[in-house]
Amino acid sequence: AMISQSELQVVIDDIKRVADRASRSFSDDDNDDNSGSGDDLTGSSFQQREYAIDRLHADDARDKVFVAILKALAARHNRPSSPKELATCIMKHEFTLLG
C-alpha cells in the first residue's frame, strides 16, 4: 500500500531532523566500535556533499531499513561508511530494529 503525501512528509522531516541534529554536533560519537575506521577525516579527501532528501520516493519511504540507512548517513554527515558502521549507528540511535 502506498503511503500518503502527509506520511511521506513526516518521514522526510524526520530524516531532516536527524541531519540537522548531526550538523549541530561537532563531536563524532558514532564511532564507538573502536574499529579505527571512524578516524577524524579532517584533511582527507572526503568532502561533504548535499543531498536532496525532499526527492525521497514514497515506495522508498515505506522501507524502514532504507529510511534507517538514510538517517545513519545523515547522522554520519553523509561520509562514506561501511555496512558495519551504518549498522552500529542505526542500533545506537535506535533508528529501527535490525535482524
Ordered per-residue pLDDT tens for the chain, 99 residues: 678 999 999 999 999 999 889 888 744 444 444 444 444 444 455 556 666 888 899 999 999 999 999 999 999 988 899 999 999 999 999 999 987
The answer to whether the CB of 37 falls within 8 A of the CB of 85 is: yes
The answer to whether the CB of 69 falls within 8 A of the CB of 85 is: no
pLDDT of residue 23: 83
Please state the φ and ψ torsions of residue 38, each to the nearest 5 degrees. -100, 25
pTM of the model: 0.74
pLDDT of residue 25: 76
